[in-house]
Amino acid sequence: MNKNLKTSKLTFLGVMLALTIVFVALTAIPTASASMALLIFLPTIITSIIHGPKSGAVMGFLAGFVTLLRALLAPASPLDYLFLNPLVAILPRIFIGVVPYYVYVVFKKVIKSKTASLLIAGASGALTNTGLVIFMLYLIYSEDVVKLSTEFGIGTTFAAFAIFLVTTSALIECSVAGIGTAAVVNVYDKIKK
């Protein structure tokens, strides 16, 4: 890789990391939590599609690490202590930087529409996050999650908690991630040309 491309890529990754840090930091403010949580992993998804799965995985790791730090230093909810475990906070986020790239490549070949492929790839990143976080919470903290869910009136089973998450946030996150990814990557590609 020539020096200019390497510098350009590092600059891009730095900007994406800075955006991730800002979005994660803003979730510590109670009024901004819901809206900013939708944007936290958008830089990771975009990095995956523009610079490939290796760079995406690195960005996902960094996003997960920043999330873990926020849970440690500025917990915003009773669930935050669950994200002190790297298997919950970091591991799923690494895959957010890998899955969208391959989904984009496959769908671009199948449906031959760049924008539609970007929408689907963005949504796949959000689904990857939600699915893997729920899976890791189930494997490691299912009893704790059920106790917290019962206290907050969400339900008395882990399945009720998972359904609550999917119906209240995952669908919105998929929409925002799909639209945001398509918009940003299309603009980026036009600027690069």
Q: pLDDT by residue (tens digit) across 74-129? A: 887 777 888 999 999 999 999 999 999 999 999 999 999 999 999 999 999 999 99
Three-class SS state of 29? coil
The CA radius of gyration of the chain, in Å to the nearest whole number, is 17
Tokens of 143: 């009893």
| Domain count along the chain | 1
Encode burial over 140-174: b for 16+ CB neighbours within 10 A, e otherwise. ebeeebbebbeeeebeeebeebbeebbeeebeebb
- pLDDT tens digits, residue range 152-177? 777 778 888 888 777 777 888 888 89
Three-class SS state of 28? coil
Global confidence as pTM? 0.89
Range of the domain at 16: 3-192
Residues 124, 96: Cα–Cα separation, whole Å: 8
The domain that holds 149 is classified in CATH as 1.10.1760.20
